[in-house]
Chain A
């Protein structure tokens, strides 16, 4: 039956969504029941397994062209579910320790993930909007989970107001595109595209909406405050899974909705990418709070990702996909260690100075943090380097040599702030006796897995990058339908 076939193409999203509803029901009858986290992990694992199988399955469209499945969509689902799963694994202990382990947190994570999966599979502007809003509304709630603290309320309110504002831009852009082309389907819009003012204005507003969501530079103001006020492991979720989802949809928009020749879209992306890389990295240099430092680093990484988009070649798009996986692995790891350190001291020890001496007191955690930070800085041998290499190589092959030079220089500057925590961990004496508690196996185990993946994909990137570039070869050109 056609209906069932359509449902089967969106199976990961359905599993996660239904699990979210069940979590809500359980939470009604047994407040903050411990089994909720087990159910969450089980459903995410099942969905992850299915989307990994979809990687090698057929591609196509379902629900009357509303969503696409297989290929890029399947890879997007895999990255999102992978990120979500590991964030939940490290969240449990952390939220218990700071006494905010509500059942609602998991329901919100599952619903947000459903939205992200819809966003990554979207093939229609309505679906993009629906996915983005489902994701954002749940994230606004997650940002304000620590409502007793002013930073939590500030984060939630700031995120909500600016997010709603940016959604307005996005929606206005969609309305103009509909006015210009008479369709909401991405292929049909690309076919009817022209360089008239209505279409270009619509495309521009759509880009502004996405720049907000991925925190690219003139629209990045919310990022540090929101990341600071949100519980650390949920910050990891926000900065990886939601960014991956938004970027997959961004690739869809740039590669298929906005044909070359209607306007110089690549130029727009180049300017924003340069501003994002420079500003993100420079402001990160002077941060003392490690969460704010990672927030600015996340802005800088959005800049590197935009370099791949600006290249506007199949190589660039597959480089962005690789980078998203790399960023998800290493960033969750870094936030995980920060969360480990923070949760034993209340919420106040986020200053980088307090990392003094950690290297000798908790050698394993310190080594893992060092590996994640090396990878974020782009030191060869780790996954972050490979991601950056692909992105900058794509820019050079697309004759954007200036852009690649700015990117490499910005990345070189970033090494300073990534190395600072390591200097404190290994080269300074601990200034007071800080009691350190052991962490549980789930927390430690997931960080170890992330470390192994950071090194594995850094050493052996070839298989995955072949898979990713195969998505954009052959019939991909036929799909874009440039008139």
Chain B
């Protein structure tokens, strides 16, 4: 039973050895001459602006959460549409129920003001 996992173990060992080897090599062989410009944060060639730990509006997180929900909906819908003819009508009912549940969530989000980007209007 456990022998079946041997290739995975070998792969993991090779990956580990390779990673350690390459990092050691670059540390040993590579030159290390730091200056102020090299150590400063990289912002696409511009001079860095502001702090890195700035606070973002919570709206971004809400949109990201809503995105994940509908992303997962697509993940479920895709294999189902491909298999629909074989899977039968029962699965259609299940899918309708599934989408209705997500729809309730969407109604909730819109009604509670997820899409109103004026922060004063938040009703959550």
Contact B90 A3 (CB under 8 A): yes
Size band of the A side of the interface? Answer: 10 to 19
The contact string, 1 if C-beta is below 8 Å from chain B, for chain A 22-35, is 00110111010000
Residue of A nearest to B110 (CB): A28
Interface of B is mostly: helix
Residue of A nearest to B100 (CB): A21
Determine if A198 is an interface residue (Cβ-Cβ < 8 Å): yes
Q: Known: A3-B90, A21-B101, A28-B112. Contact between A196 and B107, CB under 8 A?
A: no
Contact B123 A198 (CB under 8 A): no
Contact A29 B111 (CB under 8 A): yes
Size band of the B side of the interface? Answer: 10 to 19
Chain A residues near B101 (CB-CB < 8 A)? 21
Identify B104's interface contact among A24, A29, A179, A198, CB under 8 A. Answer: A24
Determine if A180 is an interface residue (Cβ-Cβ < 8 Å): yes
Contact B90 A196 (CB under 8 A): no
Determine if B93 is an interface residue (Cβ-Cβ < 8 Å): yes
What's the nearest-Cβ distance from chain A to residue B86, in Å? 16
Determine if A459 is an interface residue (Cβ-Cβ < 8 Å): no
| Chain B 87-124 interface residues, beta-carbon cutoff 8 Å to A | 90, 93, 101, 104-105, 107-108, 111-112, 123
Identify A196's interface contact among B1, B105, B111, B123, CB under 8 A. Answer: B1
The contact string, 1 if C-beta is below 8 Å from chain A, for chain B 65-83, is 0000000000000000000
Contact A28 B1 (CB under 8 A): no
Residue of B nearest to A180 (CB): B1
Chain B residues near A180 (CB-CB < 8 A)? 1
What's the nearest-Cβ distance from chain A to residue B52, in Å? 23
What's the nearest-Cβ distance from chain B to residue A23, in Å? 10
Determine if A197 is an interface residue (Cβ-Cβ < 8 Å): yes
Chain B residues near A29 (CB-CB < 8 A)? 111
Chain B residues near A28 (CB-CB < 8 A)? 107-108, 111-112
| Chain A 159-202 interface residues, beta-carbon cutoff 8 Å to B | 179-180, 196-198
Contact A25 B90 (CB under 8 A): no
Residue of A nearest to B112 (CB): A28
What's the nearest-Cβ distance from chain A to residue B95, in Å? 13
Q: CA of A197 to CA of B3 in the docked complex: distance in angstroms?
A: 12
What's the nearest-Cβ distance from chain B to residue A471, in Å? 31
What's the nearest-Cβ distance from chain A to residue B88, in Å? 10
Q: CA of A21 to CA of B112 in the docked complex: distance in angstroms?
A: 15
Identify A31's interface contact among B5, B90, B93, B123, CB under 8 A. Answer: B123
Q: CA of A25 to CA of B112 in the docked complex: distance in angstroms?
A: 11
Contact B104 A21 (CB under 8 A): yes
Determine if B28 is an interface residue (Cβ-Cβ < 8 Å): no
What's the nearest-Cβ distance from chain A to residue B38, in Å? 37
Which of B90, B105, B108 gathers the greatest number of chain A CB atoms within 10 Å?
Answer: B108
Chain B residues near A197 (CB-CB < 8 A)? 2
What's the nearest-Cβ distance from chain A to residue B116, in Å? 14
Contact A198 B107 (CB under 8 A): no
Q: Known: A3-B90, A3-B93. Contact between A27 and B108, CB under 8 A?
A: yes
Residue of A nearest to B107 (CB): A28
Which of A3, A28, A31 gathers the greatest number of chain B CB atoms within 10 Å?
Answer: A28
Q: CA of A25 to CA of B105 in the docked complex: distance in angstroms?
A: 9
What's the nearest-Cβ distance from chain A to residue B6, in Å? 13
**Residue contacts A-B, CB under 8 angstroms, 8 given:** A3-B90, A21-B101, A24-B105, A24-B108, A25-B107, A27-B108, A28-B108, A196-B1
A197-B2, A198-B1 given; name 12 further pairs at CB < 8 Å. A3-B90, A3-B93, A21-B101, A21-B104, A24-B108, A25-B104, A28-B107, A28-B108, A28-B111, A28-B112, A196-B1, A196-B2
Listed in ascending order, the chain B residues whose CB lies under 8 Å from chain A are 1-2, 5, 90, 93, 101, 104-105, 107-108, 111-112, 123
